[in-house]
């Protein structure tokens, strides 16, 4: 999850710089800083296999988010076309970010327990998406309101599922419903 936050914030900062949108930049800069911080914290407590995976993901994200916008800046002379190219990259990454819990949604419906959903994160996804939809509509930017509308919808679906399928009281059921990424093995610190 942490790497998706970093990628999402970086690409929106690039988009904000390209289209001169200071409020988009202001909204994503704190997310980038916190996402990088969370990534380093997670790296510090992860086992070696998870660390290797994290390094690979960061390398891919860094490559895509540096080569794509650099190519646009160097080779696309039409400003509107360049803004569209970076906007589509931002939309793609944001949709990956918002679609991450889709597998958990299917598990919730199948198991009839919302143990794999985190209520505060679901609520904040809904609120975040709804606020960006409002801003995107206010400034007439479909790259902002479109994917965030999808995010708000996914957040609302999660909240509905949380209400329909309460968390199971059985600890074993709760553990089996957890998402594999959230249960990544942690390195034990010396005692």
pLDDT tens column, 101-131 = 788 888 888 888 888 888 998 999 999 999 9
Domain boundary residue, one of 99, 131, 156: 99
**Do residues 14 and 82 both lie within one domain?**
yes
**Do residues 4 and 93 both lie within one domain?**
yes
The pLDDT value recorded for residue 148 is 95
The pLDDT value recorded for residue 188 is 47
**Do residues 76 and 151 both lie within one domain?**
no
**Do residues 113 and 95 both lie within one domain?**
no
Q: Domain of 135: which CATH number? A: 1.20.1280
> Could you tell me the pLDDT band of residue 62, with boundaries at 50, 70 and 90?
confident
Domain boundary residue, one of 41, 69, 99: 99
**Do residues 15 and 93 both lie within one domain?**
yes
Q: Is 179 left (phi over 0), alpha (psi -120 to 50) or beta?
A: beta
The pLDDT value recorded for residue 126 is 95
Q: Is 20 left (phi over 0), alpha (psi -120 to 50) or beta?
A: left
**Do residues 141 and 118 both lie within one domain?**
yes
The pLDDT value recorded for residue 23 is 96
> Between 10 and 187, whose confidence is greater?
10
Least confident span in 3-7, 21-25, 117-121: 3-7
When computed from its CA atoms, the radius of gyration of the chain, rounded to whole angstroms, is 18
Contact residues for 42 (Cβ-Cβ < 8 A; gap 6+): 2, 54
Q: Is residue 189 part of a domain?
A: no
What's the distance, Cα to Cα, between the start and end of the chain in Å?
Answer: 29
Cα–Cα distance measured from residue 114 to residue 122, given in angstroms and rounded to the nearest whole number: 11
Q: Is residue 56 part of a domain?
A: yes
Q: What is the pLDDT of residues 126-183, one digit of tens each?
A: 999 999 999 999 999 999 999 999 999 999 999 999 999 888 655 444 455 554 445 5
**Do residues 12 and 77 both lie within one domain?**
yes
pTM comes to 0.76
For the chain, what is the domain count? Answer: 2
**Do residues 110 and 79 both lie within one domain?**
no
**Do residues 30 and 86 both lie within one domain?**
yes
CB atoms within 10 A of CB 129: 23
Residue 186 has pLDDT above 80, yes or no: no
- Cα–Cα–Cα angle for 25, 30, 32, nearest 5°? 85
Q: Which two tokens stand for residue 49?
A: 């296999």
**Do residues 94 and 4 both lie within one domain?**
yes
**Do residues 145 and 120 both lie within one domain?**
yes
> Residue 32: which domain range?
1-99
**Do residues 91 and 159 both lie within one domain?**
no
Q: What is the pLDDT of residues 38-52, one digit of tens each?
A: 888 988 899 999 999
């Amino acid at each position: 999850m942490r790497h998706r936050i970093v990628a999402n914030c970086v690409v929106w900062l690039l988009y904000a710089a390209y289209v001169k949108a200071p409020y988009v930049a202001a909204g994503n800069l704190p997310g980038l800083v916190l996402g990088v911080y969370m990534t380093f914290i997670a790296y510090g407590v992860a086992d070696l296999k998870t660390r290797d995976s994290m390094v690979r993901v960061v390398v891919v994200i860094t490559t895509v988010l540096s080569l794509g916008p650099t190519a646009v800046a160097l080779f696309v002379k039409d400003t509107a076309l360049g803004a569209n190219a970076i906007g589509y990259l931002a939309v793609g990454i944001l949709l990956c970010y918002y679609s991450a819990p889709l597998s958990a949604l299917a598990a919730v419906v199948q198991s009839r327990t919302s143990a794999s959903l985190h209520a505060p994160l679901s609520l904040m996804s809904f609120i975040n998406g709804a606020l960006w939809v409002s801003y995107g509509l206010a400034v007439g930017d479909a790259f902002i309101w479109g994917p965030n509308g999808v995010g708000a919808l996914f957040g609302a679906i999660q909240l509905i599922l949380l209400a329909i399928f309460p968390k199971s009281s059985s600890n074993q059921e709760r553990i089996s419903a957890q998402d594999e990424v959230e249960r990544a093995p942690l390195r034990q610190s010396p005692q």
